[in-house]
Every structure is written in C-alpha cells, then in structure tokens.
Structure 1
Amino acid sequence: MPLYPFGFGTALGRSFSVLRGNPKVLLGFAVGVQAAASFVGLLILGGVSFLMFSRLATVEEFSDEFDALMAGSIAVTAVVGVVVTLALSALNVVVQGVVVAEVSRATVGERATLRELWAIVRPSFWRLVGYFALQLLAILVVALVVAVPVIIGAGTEQYFLAALIFPLLLAMIPLWAWIGTKLYLVPSAIVLEGIGPIAGIRRSWQLTRGRFWPTFGVMILISVIVSVASSIVTAPLQLFGSFLPVIVMPFGEGTPEPGDFGAALATMLVVTIVTMALQLLVSAIGTIVTGAGGALMYIDARMRREGLDLRLQSYVEQRELGASELPDPWPYDPAYAAYAAQPRYGAPGPAQPGYAQQPGYPQQPEQGYPQHPGYPQQPGYPQQPPQGYPQQPPQRYPPQQQAYPQQPGYPQQQYPGQPPYPAPPSAPAAEQPAQWQPPQWQPPAPPSGGA
C-alpha cells in the first residue's frame, strides 16, 4: 500500500486485490465461518421445525386445536429463523474485523497468519458484537416506524394510513445511504484503535466529514459489483433448477419411472448444493471486499486529517533499521493530528533581508508548490533570494599565428606495367615578408676642416 493519501480510485481497486495478497487466510476464514454458520443455522431451524410441526400429528386434522397448533408452529419457526439469521449474521462483522487487521498489516508491508490476525481482533470481539447489536436495534426501530401505520390502518379500516408505507420506504433509501456511509468506518476504528461501539461511531462520523462522496462511492460501487457478480454466477444454476421439474414431467401428468425420478432428484440435489456453495463463496468474497474498502477509506481519511502516513513511514523505517520493539502506529495520537492540521505546502515566504540582488542574472518568478486537493499543507519555507555570481569581463587573447613547417610529400609509388604518374606541379612558395633589421651603429664622421 502507498504510504500517502491515495484517494478514491486506489481504494476501490485495492479493495478487490486484497485477496491476492493473502488468499488462504482471508478466503479460507470467511468461507469457513460462513459455511459453519449456515450449517448450524440449518440444524437449529430444522430441529425447531420438526419439533413444532410434529405435534400436528397428535390432534385431529381440520379441528380448532389443529389450526391453533399450525399457527403457533409457523410463528415460532419464523421467529426462531429470524433470531438465528441475525445471530449468525454477527459473524460477518467478525470477518470484517479480520479483514481490517489484514489490511493494516499489509499497509506496512507485512504478511500475517490467521493466528496473528486473530490476536489483533480478539480484544475487540465483543465490541464488534455490540456494534452489530446497535445496528439490529436501529433496524427494529425503523421496522416499527414503518409497520405501525400499517397495523393501525388495518385495525381501524383507515387504509390511507397503510398507504403511508410507500413514501416512508422511499424516504428510507437516502437515509440508509447517508447513515451507512457515515458509519462505514466503524469496524476499522473499533479494531485498530481499540475503542467501543459508541466511540467508533463518533470516530467514523468525524473521519467521513469532508470525505462523504468518495466513501459513498466506494461503498455503493462495491455493493453493486458484488451483487451483479453474484447474480451472474448463480442465475444459470437457479434457472436450470426451475426447469428441471418440467424436464422430468413435461406434461405435468403421470408418474415418472423410479429410475427417472431418482436421477431427477439427484440432479436437483446436486444443483441446489452447487448453487448454495457458489452463493456462499460470492458472499464471502463480498464480505472481504466490503471490509477492505472500509479499512482503506479509514486509512486514507486518517492520513489526510491526522498525519497517519508520517507515523507509518516512521514505523517502516524503524523496522528496516532492525528495531525489536516498535510502538503500535494505529491508536489516535493528538500530537500528529495537531501537526497534520497545519498546512504542509504553502507559497514561499518573503525574502530575507541582507541579500542584495546580484547583477547579471534576471529575476526568476516565484514558483510555489502546486496545491493538491485533499493533502494537508505544511508551512511554507522562506524563499532565499537568488545569489548571482559577479559577471567576469570578457578575456581577449591575441591571435596566435604559428607557422607549421611544410611536411614532405609522400613518395610516389609505381606499379609494374603502368607508366609513372607525373608529379603534380608544386605550388609556388609563399613569399615571406622581409624581416625588419635594426639599424647598425656607426661612429660619427669626423668634422670637416682643420682643427
């Protein structure tokens, strides 16, 4: 992972590439947990259904007691099914916690085992379950708000109250998108910072401030991609399973042969098992990708708001230098948050006094660092004025005339059977200028006449 704010595109792409980094641990854990949860849920639901509906054989059919037992059995089975489904769905939050731990280790270039990841998640297990309980409570409150007008309208025959369910459901869609985005980072905050559900909600609400639309884009695109992939994988098998009875009994009449019926039943059972396995696999992948997207957006938000990138870089450098005991870089540190709140990149400051502009160099325009969106800014450093060097006067050297001695020509080669080539006429020698001779001293002539 890059140790700097990476933004929307990197977070979305790396969410799907998390499996490539540690596939055995993540996919094995997610599929194993969800498969075990599904198996336990089927056993509980099947046992309760058998116990409840087996009582119908003890009373007379079409009697009042039979009708009461039937209604009670259906109600108890439905309630148990909802409770078991919600209880086992809490394990998805635990899977997301393991994914968050894996992303945190992969960010600093470490590959952890399942035992090491569970050691990170185990202290926060009940906190994650508590957060899921708060989500469940909120869902029940919303369901009651939607169901009360319907119940009142049906009881008082005021059906216009029941019609209020449609605008209420439409209003729930943007409300769900807004609240879901603001709480998308809660599992990451609970696992990495070791805080409770309420504090995790507060932290997620704070970190998504100013980063709502990138977080919403990652969350909604992951949901859409996973849903479309699940439909593409399971739709052909479901379609084949729906056409299987028509293939066995094309006209809907008669009894198929025992061999044909057994083959059709075995085929239907195989198709059902394969469909459930594929749905389980796609669901596990969706849980992993969703958890990875939340963890990456959490890391990106903390890098921008709290200088987490500086702490992670320091952690990696100390590890590379061979430090044995390294502090945990993930808990909240107010000192780094205060430092990150300062501007990192600003315009250059005024020139310091005492530096004179040197002649000979043109004044260069001041160029500041470009403002990157989303990066915290550091205070600008004062700009040093350009210090030119004094211009040196041009140095003129007198032309040097150096006569080179004339090189003798190459001897002429003669080949046998060929006449000798005539020598080229030699160029006349250049006339050398007469050299100046100083005048010779001569004694003065004797004066004429007698003394």
Structure 2
Amino acid sequence: MDEKFSRPKGFGQILDHTFGLSKRHFKDFFLILLVFLGPIYLLQAFIQLVSGVSFFREVGAGETWFEQMVMSFGETENASLAADLGIALVGLVTIFVAPVATAAIMFAIDHLRKGEDYTVGSVIKQAFSRYWPMLGSTILFCLIAFGLFVVPVILVTIAGVVGAIVFPIVGIILAIVLFLGFAVGIGLLLTRWSFYFGAVIFEEETPGLSRSWKLTKGRTWVLFGLFIIFSLIITVISTTLELTFGMLLGNSVLLSLIISAASIFTTMIFTVGYAVMYFDLKIRNDADDLKEMIGEYHTPQI
C-alpha cells in the first residue's frame, strides 16, 4: 500500500495529498473526465453556434469596448427556445455520465493506493460494472438534497415576510439567522451522507447512505470544512477565468469552451479530493492497512 494512504491524515495533509495526486497523474485523470464530459461540452458549443452566438468574439450594443462586452452576456442569454432545450438536454446527459467518470478516477486512485498498475480503459470498464447502483444512489442523494434545500427556503421566506410585515429589521435579521442555521445544518447532513458513492462502488452497498453515516462519524466538521475549501477553489478559478477571458471574448462560444475546460480541471481536483477523503475514512474506521499487511504476511512466498 502507498505510504501516504496507509495512515490517517489531518486537514492540511488531505489537501496536500489531493494536489500531489492531481499533479502527478494529471494526464490520466483529466483524460478520464475529458472522455465523458468533452463530447457534452462540444455539443453545448455546437448548440450555441447554431443559435447564432459568435465563435471567437461576441459583442453587444454599446459605444465603448467595456459596454459591448457586458451587453454581449445579456444578449446571448435571450437565446431561442431550441437552444435552451438543447442546453437542458446537455445537463440531463451529464447526470448519467458524470458518475462513471467519478468512479473511474476513484478506481484509478484505488490502484495507486495498492501499488497496482492500471490503464484509463481498465478503470472506465470497472466503473461501468457498478453503473446502475451508483446512478440510482446518486439520483436518490440528489432528491434528498433537493428536499433539504426546498423546505428551508420556504420556511425562511415565510419567516422573513411575516417578520418584515410586523417589524422590518427583525424580519431581515430573522431571515439571515435562519438561512445561516439551515445552511450549516444541511451542509453537515449532506456531508454525513455524501460518501455513499464510495460505499456503492467499492463495498457494493446500495444506496450506501447508512455506510457513509458510519464512516463520517466524528469527522463531520473536518469534512465539511474540506468541502467548503474545495468549493472556494473551484469558484475562484471559474470566476477568475470567466471574468478575464469574458472581457476579451465576450459571451462567445470560445469562452464557453475555455470555461468548460476549466470545469473539467476543477472537477478533477474535487473528485481526487473526495477519493482521498473516502480512503482516509476507510483507514480510520476499517484499518484497511492492517488487513492488507496481514494478508501479505499470510501469503506464501514463491
């Protein structure tokens, strides 16, 4: 077993291991995601072209260069119904292929953890072997997350409106407090259930929610913090690229492709981080390193 996987890691060590793996195996991980997400992003770009968006540089109405760039985003948002439906279709397809790409990267990291060789094709094949359980579990998790978000939004809205009618300042403060409370509570709950995916593909437990709840016991706040850090990294990279290239290209197809490439990169980092966190939880709960060493000790030497 790789030494870095054989011992529990702290907050900073998980981040360091994540970026180290992403750097050393960038080509394989990026290629896996490109195989599944690349065609989807190309289809999205094609839909934009057909709907009349310029490929290299999209400008809108305005007297100055800055006004033209800003207006281009507003004008291209008023796309045709066909383009909107096409983009919605792209999003729907992503739901069905993204779990396979995630599983393939996790299988690759599992091979690295065990010191085994692998190919991109072999880990993709492994991922498809658990396709239906992980798809069903992912849909269930998304439905739970949707329900957890919708109900608090309704409650916060009602409380804010009622409070604003009675006493505006109190209504605003109440809405903010409730929003922050629900946000943290929901985040912690989803963190407890979020490692269902690893349980589904490695332990063949479906839907894996109870297994995830057991794995994350005592580590919820640390994991929640790591998810926040990864989300901030993704947001900063995406926002920086969109603002930088958006000022040069407007809301063009080329900008969309650049953002898509950045999305593949940030998805790779998040997926690797998720895998590192999952295997760290396994080490803490199941003592996988001891099991492996015992197995190697009892294996006859030839």
TM-score by length of 1: 0.50
- Counterpart in the other structure of 2:134: 128
> Quick one: structure 1 residues 6 and 169, their matched pair in 2 at CA, closer, same or farther if it must change by over 3 Å?
same
- Counterpart in the other structure of 2:28: 25
By how many angstroms is 1:39 displaced?
Answer: 3.1
Q: Highest CA radius of gyration, 1 or 2?
A: 1
- Counterpart in the other structure of 2:63: none
Count of aligned positions:
265
Cα shift readout 1:303-342 (whole Å, capped 9, x = no counterpart): 22222111233456688956xxxxxxxxxxxxxxxxxxxx
1:190 maps onto 2:190 in alignment: no
Where in structure 2 are the equivalents of 1:41-56 lying within 5 Å? 41=44
By how many angstroms is 1:143 displaced?
Answer: 5.7
1:309 maps onto 2:289 in alignment: yes
By how many angstroms is 1:170 displaced?
Answer: 3.7
**RMSD (Å), alpha carbons:** 3.8
| Alpha carbons 2:8, 2:284 under 8 Å: kept | no
By how many angstroms is 1:231 displaced?
Answer: 2.7
> Quick one: structure 1 residues 6 and 320, their matched pair in 2 at CA, closer, same or farther if it must change by over 3 Å?
farther
State percent identity of aligned pairs. Answer: 20
More displaced stretch, 98-107 vs 219-228:
219-228
SS at match of 1:17: helix
1:235 maps onto 2:243 in alignment: yes
Gaps spanning 5+ residues in structure 1: where? 51-72, 243-267, 323-451
| Alpha carbons 2:30, 2:264 under 8 Å: kept | yes
1:290 maps onto 2:270 in alignment: yes
| Alpha carbons 1:124, 1:191 under 8 Å: kept | yes
Where in structure 2 are the equivalents of 1:100-249 lying within 5 Å? 100-142=106-148, 144-145=150-151, 169-197=179-207, 200-242=208-250
Distance 2:117 2:293 in 1: 17
- Counterpart in the other structure of 1:447: none
Distance 2:182 2:214 in 1: 23
- Counterpart in the other structure of 1:281: 261
> Quick one: structure 1 residues 301 and 240, their matched pair in 2 at CA, closer, same or farther if it must change by over 3 Å?
same
1:300 maps onto 2:276 in alignment: no
Cα shift readout 1:347-377 (whole Å, capped 9, x = no counterpart): xxxxxxxxxxxxxxxxxxxxxxxxxxxxxxx
Gaps spanning 5+ residues in structure 2: where? 53-79
> Quick one: structure 1 residues 286 and 131, their matched pair in 2 at CA, closer, same or farther if it must change by over 3 Å?
farther
> Quick one: structure 1 residues 110 and 167, their matched pair in 2 at CA, closer, same or farther if it must change by over 3 Å?
same
More displaced stretch, 38-47 vs 80-89:
38-47
Which of the pair has the greater relative contact order for Cα pairs under 8 Å at 6+ separation?
A: 2
SS at match of 1:100: helix
Distance 1:86 1:139 in 2: 17
Distance 2:6 2:146 in 1: 40
- Counterpart in the other structure of 1:6: 8
- Counterpart in the other structure of 2:61: none
SS at match of 2:130: helix
Cα shift readout 1:190-237 (whole Å, capped 9, x = no counterpart): 11112212xx11111101101223322322222222222233333211
Distance 1:136 1:78 in 2: 23
By how many angstroms is 1:89 displaced?
Answer: 3.5
Choose between structure 1 and 2: higher helix proportion: 2
